[in-house]
Amino acid sequence: MRIEHWFYRFPLRLKSIFRRRRVEDELDEELRFHLEQKIEQGIAEGLSPEEARYQALRAMGGLDQKKEEIRDTRGIHWLTDFVDDVRYAFRSLRRAPGLTAVVVVTIALGIGMTTTPYSMLDALVFRPYPVPRPGEVVTLVSTTRDDGFDDFSYREYLDIREHTKSYDGLIANAPLGSVGFSAAAGETPRVRGGMLVSGNYFRVLGVEPTLGRGFREEEDQVPGRDAVTILGPDFWKRELGGDPSVVGRTIRLNGTDFTVIGVAPESFPGMLLFSRPDFYMPLAMARLFSSDPKKDFFVDRDDRQLSVKGRLKPGTSLAHAREEIALLARDFERAHPQLNRDRGATVRTRFQMRTRGDDPNWKFSVIFTVLAVAVLLVACTNAAGLLLSRARTRRREIAVRLAIGAGRFRLVRLLLTESLVLACLGGLLGIAVGYAGIKALQTFSIPSELPVIIPFRLDGRVLAAAIVMSVVSALFCGLAPALQATRGDLVAGLKSDDGDASASGRGRKRLWGRNALVVAQIAMSLMLLAVTFLMFRGFQHGLLEGTGFATDHRLLVRFDPRLIQYDAAGTQRFYEMLAERMRHTPGVESAALLQSPPFGLDDFDAVAFVPETFQLPRGREHFTAAADTVDEGFFDTMGIPILRGRGFRPSDTEDAPRVAVVNAQFAKHYWPDADAVGKRIRLDGPAGAPVEIVGVAANIKYRSTDETPADFLYLPMRQHPVPRMVLLLRSPVDPQELVCTVKDAVRSLDANMPMLETRTYADLYRYHTVEGPRVAVNLVGTMGAVGLLLAIAGLYGLVAYNVARRTREIGIRIAIGAQSSDVLRLVMGKSLVLVGVGAVIGFGLGLAVEQLMNSMLFNAGGVDFLVYLVVVPAMILVAMLAAYVPGRRACRIPPTLALRAE
Amino acid sequence: MLPSETDMSKPNDLILGTLDLLLLKMLALQPLHGWAISLRLTAISGDVLQVSEGSLYPALHKLEQEGWIKAEWKQTENNRRAKFYSLTRLGRKQLETETANWKRLSSAISHVVALAEA
C-alpha cells in the first residue's frame, strides 16, 4: 500500500520540482478554462460580459490564493522556498561583498584549522580496520601486574585458540622490522618490512587476495616447512611492477627461497597504521626471522611476540569474552607460575587499543582537535558578531517583511539560509585549507630504515566531518542574529534604522550578547596562546637541557648479518673486525658498536635483574630496567663521562667475569648511600648469573629531551651478543664524508653485507627533538595566532561599532558640556572591562589546560605568565585604539550634526 | 473579504472530508474535468451541499497528489482542451474505505437521532 502510494506520488513530486514552469502553466490553463466556462454560462443567463466575469471571479474566491493553496498540496514548498532562499541569499550577500568575504574567510580559517587535526584524530582513533565488518574484530592482550599491555607467545596463542569459544576465528601476527629481501640469489639483500601471520589470518579477516590464494591451514603446522609468502599490494606494484604472473615465482627472504602464492588486495594495506607489510609469511617460518637467539619461538611460553586478534561471534558480548580469557589466564598462571606470575588477560576493542595511555600520538591529536575547535568557536563568534551587525542594518527591511505578513519562522529560515550559504562557502574554502595542512603533514619524513606511513588523509570520513562542522557553524553563527533580528518592536523597527537608540531593556540585552562574544573570543585566544607557549617551552626546555652526549660529527650505520645467513659466531667476528678496521681508518677519531642508539626508533631491551643486598618488595620477583648492548668504544665515542669505576674493555669477553655499567640514576636508585661500583646484580632473576657493576656512567637522555632520568644498564657486547648492531663513528669533519670509507671497509670484509641505515646522529636527533615538536608547535602556534587575530578583529569591530552607534548620545553629551576626554573615557572604559573579563577567564582556562597538558605530556611545569603579560596589554591597546578612533571622530562632530545623524 | 475567504476554503456546510468522498464517487463513474464536476455537484446536491468553486480545485489537486486520481489533458465535446480527472486503482480502494466509513458514521448518527426521538 505505502509503496504503491509512492508509485503515484513520486513522479508528481519530481514533476513539480523539475517541471515547475509547466505545472504552473497547466494550473493556469485549468483555472482559466473554468473561468471561461463560468463566464459563458453567465452570459447565457443574460448577464453582461463584465458582470459575468465579475461573478465568475467572485465565485472562485481570489485566483491567486487558490493557486497558492494548490501549490501547497504539492508538498514541495519547503524545497522551492529553500531554493528561493538560497537564490535570495546569494543576491543579498553579493550586495555586501566585503562582509561576505570577511565572514567566509573567517569560517574557512576555522574549518581548515579543524580539518587538519581532525584528520589526525580520525586516523589515530576512529578509522575502522580495512576489513569487512571491522567492528567485530577485537584484540586480546596479556596484562602485567602494573597494568601494562603485552603480547602472547606462540604456545599461549595455541592454547587460547583451543580453549575459547567467543570468536569466529582467532588470528595471530608478529610484525617484522627488517626482512632481507633479494629478488634472486646472490643479490645483496635490501631491508623490507614483513609480517608473520597465522594460517587463518586472511580468512578470518575476510580479505581475499587479488591474485593467487590465501594461506592454507596446513601451511602453518610444521615449523620451517612451508616457505610461502603473500605480497603486500604496495610492494608488488613498486618492486615487481605489478607483474600479474608473480604467483609461483620465488623470492629470497633472509636467504631462504619463498614461493609467492598470492598478492593482498589494494583495499587491505594491513592492520597497522604506520607501516605496511611487504610480505606475509606463515608463523611456522618464525625461526628464520627470530631476533633473539636465546628464545625459541615455538617452545618458550614467555617469548611473547604475537598480537592476537579475533572476530567476536555475533551475539557474544565483550564482557563474556573478557571473562573467558581472564579465566584462561588464571589457568596459565596456575600451570606456569614462573612465567605467568601476576599475568592476566583481557579483550580490547579497536578504540581501546588506539587510545592506550602510553601512546602520546593520539593524545596530541585530541589536544590539537580540541584547540582547533576552540579556534573554530572564535571564528564562529566573530562571524556571528558580523552577522549581528548586519542584521541590525537590515532591521527596517525585516520589519517591513514582518509587517506585510511574513511569519517569524519563515524569516528566521531565510536568515539561517544566508548563514548556511556563508558557512558552505567558508567550508569549501576551509576544506582546501585543511587539505593543504594535511599535505604538509604528509611531507613530514621520519628517519627509519623502512618507510613510515603517515596515515593522515582527507578521506570521505574527514570530508563528512568538515561538512558537518560547516553546517553546525552556520547554525551557531546564524541562529542568534536571526532570532534577534526578527524579534521585537515592529513600529520602532519601521520608524528608525536603529532600534537600540531607545536604550530599551532589549537593547541592553542585545549588547550583553555581543559583549559575551568578545569576552569569549579573548578568553579562547589567550588560552590557545598559553598552550602554544607551553608546548614551545616544553620542547625548548628539553633542547636547552641537552642530551648528555654529543650528537655532532657522528655517523651511524646499521648492520644485520643474519640477513645474509651469518651465524652467531660469524656475526660477532664480523663486528669485531669491522670495529677494529674502523678504528685504524684515517679520519675516524673513534668507533663504537651499540644495539640501540639513544633517540633511535628502536626501543631498548628491558632487562630483568635482582640487585644483591637489596630487599625486594613483597611479591616482587625482580626489577626491570632499559638496557643497551655496547662495546668498549661506546662511552668514549658518545662522549658520556664515566663518573666512577671504568667503562668496558676488550678483555670483557665471554670467558671473563661478567660485568655491567649502570647510569648514575641506577646507582642512586639502588645504592643511595654507597658506591655502586663493586656491587653485584643477578640478571633475569634471583637464580640468574651474577654480574659485577664495574662503572657508573653519567645520566643521558635516551628517548626524549624532556624525560626524567631513568635507570639504565649497559652490557658488554662480547658477553651479550646481539645480531643487529649500529656502528657509530666520530669524525673531526663532516661525518657524511666517512660513508665511502665505511662502504669500502665493509666491502672488503664481505661484499654482500648490506648497510641498512646510514645517517648522521645529528639527523636522528633533529627528528626527535626539533622536527616533530616543530610540527606540533607550528600547528598550535598557527591556531593561537589565527585565534588571536580573529579575536582582535572581533574586538576592534565590536568596540568601534558600539562607539559609532552612540554618535547621537555623544553629540548630546558634548552639547550639554562634556569634554572630549570624558567621552573618550566613557567609551574606552567599557572596552577595558571587556578585555579585563576576557583576560581573567582566559587566564583561568589557560591555567586549567596547561595543568592538563603538563600531566598528560610534558613535565615543563609552571605557568606562562609571560603570555598574559604580552597578550593582555596588546589586547588592551587594540581595544583602546578601536574605541579611540571612532570616539575621536564622534567628539569632533558638531553636536548639531550629531543629533541629526540618524 | 477575509472571513468569506475562510468560508470558501473550508465549507462548513459540508461535513469535513466528505468532499473527498463525493469527488471520488463522481470520478468513479466517469472521468470529468473541473468545470463538469462543479456543474454536477450543483446539479446532484442542489442547494443542500454548497461547494464553492474555489475550494474544488485545491481538493482535486490534493487527491491527485495523494495518488487517488490522475489527470489527463483531453478535448471536450466542443473541442476545448481541458484537464480530465479519473480514478486510479489506489483511488478506488480509497473510495471503498471512505464509503464504508461514511456508512458506519451515518448509520451510527441516524441511530442516535432515532433514539433521541423515541
CB contact under 8 A, B65 and A38: no
Eight-state DSSP code of residue A537: H
Question: Are A808 and A678 found together in one domain?
Answer: no
Q: Which of A342, A374, A407 is the last residue of a domain?
A: A342
Which whole number is the average pLDDT over A184-208?
A: 88
Q: Which residues make Cβ contacts (< 8 Å) with residue B17, sequence separation at least 6? A: B98
Answer yes or no: are the C-beta atoms of A558 and A726 closer than 8 Å: yes
CB contact under 8 A, A29 and B52: no
pLDDT category at A523 given cuts 50, 70, 90 is confident
Which whole number is the average pLDDT over A236-263?
A: 90
pLDDT beyond 50 at B43:
yes
Least confident range of A239-253, A652-666, A677-691:
A677-691
**Which grid cell is A887?**
570616539
Least confident range of A20-24, A28-32, A894-898, B41-45:
A894-898
CB atoms within 10 A of CB A672: 8
CA distances from A356 to A141, A149, A305, A606 (A): 12, 9, 18, 20
pLDDT at A712: 93
Question: Are A379 and A397 found together in one domain?
Answer: yes
Q: Per-domain residue ranges for chain B?
A: 2-117
Decide if A515 is inside a domain: no
pLDDT beyond 60 at A232:
yes
- Mark residue A371 as left, alpha or beta (left: phi above 0; alpha: psi -120 to 50; beta: remaining): alpha
pLDDT category at A764 given cuts 50, 70, 90 is confident
**Which grid cell is A348?**
580490547
Which whole number is the average pLDDT over A701-717?
A: 85
pLDDT category at B1 given cuts 50, 70, 90 is very low
pLDDT beyond 50 at B9:
no
CB contact under 8 A, A7 and B67: yes
CB contact under 8 A, B35 and A5: no
pLDDT beyond 80 at A151:
yes
Tell me which of B61, B64, B75, B85 to substitute to probe the interface with A (most A C-beta atoms closer than 10 Å): B61
Tell me which of A9, A66, A68 to substitute to probe the interface with B (most B C-beta atoms closer than 10 Å): A66
pLDDT category at A796 given cuts 50, 70, 90 is confident
List A348's β-bridge partners, or say none.
Answer: A139
CA distances from A278 to A186, A195, A241 (A): 21, 8, 14
Q: Which of A105, A14, A226, A51 is nearest to A786 (CA)?
A: A105
Grid cell 605489478 — which residue? A242
pLDDT tens-digit readout, A646-670: 999 999 998 899 999 999 999 998 8
pLDDT beyond 80 at A805:
no
Question: Are A606 and A624 found together in one domain?
Answer: yes
Question: Are A216 and A290 found together in one domain?
Answer: yes
- Which tops the pLDDT comparison, A230 or A829? A230
Q: Which of A510, A575, A531 is nearest to A749 (CA)?
A: A575
CB contact under 8 A, A60 and B54: yes
CB contact under 8 A, A29 and B81: yes
CB contact under 8 A, A30 and B83: yes
Answer yes or no: are the C-beta atoms of A62 and B5 closer than 8 Å: yes
pLDDT beyond 50 at A840:
yes
pLDDT at A864: 65
pLDDT at A631: 92
Decide if A508 is inside a domain: no
pLDDT at A229: 94
Question: Are A659 and A649 found together in one domain?
Answer: yes
Q: Which residues make Cβ contacts (< 8 Å) with residue B111, sequence separation at least 6? A: none
Decide if A154 is inside a domain: yes
Which whole number is the average pLDDT over A288-309?
A: 83
Q: Which amino acid is at A724?
A: R
Which whole number is the average pLDDT over A161-187?
A: 87
Which whole number is the average pLDDT over A318-345?
A: 89
Which helix (DSSP H) or strand (DSSP E) does residue A291 occupy?
Answer: none
CB contact under 8 A, B58 and A73: yes
Question: Are A724 and A815 found together in one domain?
Answer: no
CB contact under 8 A, A33 and B83: yes
Contacts of B61 in chain A (CB under 8 A): 70, 73-74
Decide if A137 is inside a domain: no
Query: How far away is chain B from the Cα of A60, in angstroms, using its nearest Cα?
Result: 4
Tell me which of B8, B9, B55, B57 to substitute to probe the interface with A (most A C-beta atoms closer than 10 Å): B57
pLDDT at A505: 45
pLDDT at B11: 43
Question: Are A674 and A747 found together in one domain?
Answer: yes
Question: Are A566 and A660 found together in one domain?
Answer: yes
Question: Are A413 and A319 found together in one domain?
Answer: no
pLDDT tens-digit readout, A544-592: 777 788 888 899 998 988 878 788 889 999 999 999 999 998 889 999 9
pLDDT tens-digit readout, B16-37: 567 888 888 888 888 888 888 8
Which whole number is the average pLDDT over A3-20?
A: 73
pLDDT at A69: 78
Task: Tally C-beta pairs within 8 A across A and B.
Answer: 77
pLDDT at A344: 87
Question: Are A287 and A370 found together in one domain?
Answer: no
Q: Which residues make Cβ contacts (< 8 Å) with residue A850, sequence separation at least 6? A: A530, A531, A534, A863, A864
CATH topology of domain B2-117: Arc Repressor Mutant, subunit A (1.10.10)
pLDDT tens-digit readout, B63-84: 888 888 888 888 888 788 888 9
pLDDT tens-digit readout, A85-140: 888 888 888 888 888 888 898 889 889 889 988 998 999 899 999 999 998 999 99
**Among chain A residues, CA nearest to B36:** A34
pLDDT beyond 50 at B13:
no
CB contact under 8 A, A61 and B8: yes
Give this complex's ipTM. Answer: 0.79
Radius of gyration of chain B (CA): 16
Residue A372 is part of which domain span?
78-131+360-497
**Among chain A residues, CA nearest to B88:** A8
pLDDT at A699: 92
Q: Which of A75, A100, A116 is the last residue of a domain?
A: A75
pLDDT at A497: 47
Decide if A136 is inside a domain: no
pLDDT beyond 80 at A447:
no
Decide if A641 is inside a domain: yes
pLDDT at A478: 81
Question: Are A198 and A226 found together in one domain?
Answer: yes
pLDDT category at A326 given cuts 50, 70, 90 is very high
pLDDT at A647: 92
pLDDT at A616: 75
Question: Are A188 and A328 found together in one domain?
Answer: yes
pLDDT at B58: 84
Grid cell 643497551 — which residue? A628
Number of domains forming the structure of chain A: 5
CA A786 – CA A107 distance, rounded (Å)? 11
pLDDT at B49: 64
pLDDT beyond 50 at B8:
no
CB contact under 8 A, A33 and B34: yes
pLDDT at A637: 92
pLDDT tens-digit readout, A216-225: 888 888 888 8
Radius of gyration of chain A (CA): 37
pLDDT tens-digit readout, A21-34: 888 888 888 888 88
- Which tops the pLDDT comparison, A189 or A713? A713
Query: How far away is chain A from the Cα of B102, in angstroms, using its nearest Cα?
Result: 21
pLDDT at A139: 93
CA A75 – CA A186 distance, rounded (Å)? 77
Contacts of A30 in chain B (CB under 8 A): 34, 57, 82-83
pLDDT at A137: 93
Query: How far away is chain B from the Cα of A41, in angstroms, using its nearest Cα?
Result: 11
Q: Tell me which residues of chain A have a C-beta less than 8 Å from any C-beta of chain B.
A: 4-9, 12, 26, 29-31, 33-34, 37-38, 59-62, 65-66, 69-70, 73-75
3-state secondary structure of A644: strand
pLDDT beyond 80 at A620:
no
- Exposed e or buried b per residue across A503-514, where buried means at least 16 C-beta atoms within 10 angstroms of its C-beta: eeebbeebbeeb
pLDDT beyond 70 at A499:
no
- Which tops the pLDDT comparison, A219 or A71? A219
**Which grid cell is A808?**
547621537
Contacts of A74 in chain B (CB under 8 A): 61, 65
* Tally of residues, chain A: 902
Q: Which of A764, A787, A815 is the last residue of a domain?
A: A764
CA A798 – CA A810 distance, rounded (Å)? 17
pLDDT at A197: 94
CA A624 – CA A686 distance, rounded (Å)? 13
Decide if A589 is inside a domain: yes
Answer yes or no: are the C-beta atoms of A110 and A375 closer than 8 Å: yes
Q: Which residues make Cβ contacts (< 8 Å) with residue A697, sequence separation at least 6? A: A635, A640, A641, A642, A643, A647, A661, A662, A663, A664, A714
pLDDT beyond 70 at A334:
yes
Decide if A506 is inside a domain: no
Which whole number is the average pLDDT over A771-778?
A: 73
Which whole number is the average pLDDT over A733-745?
A: 87
pTM metric for this prediction: 0.72
**Among chain B residues, CA nearest to A40:** B35
End-to-end CA distance of chain A: 64
Of A8, A34, A65, the CB nearest to B67: A8
Contacts of A9 in chain B (CB under 8 A): 65-67
Which whole number is the average pLDDT over A147-168?
A: 89
CB contact under 8 A, A38 and B53: yes
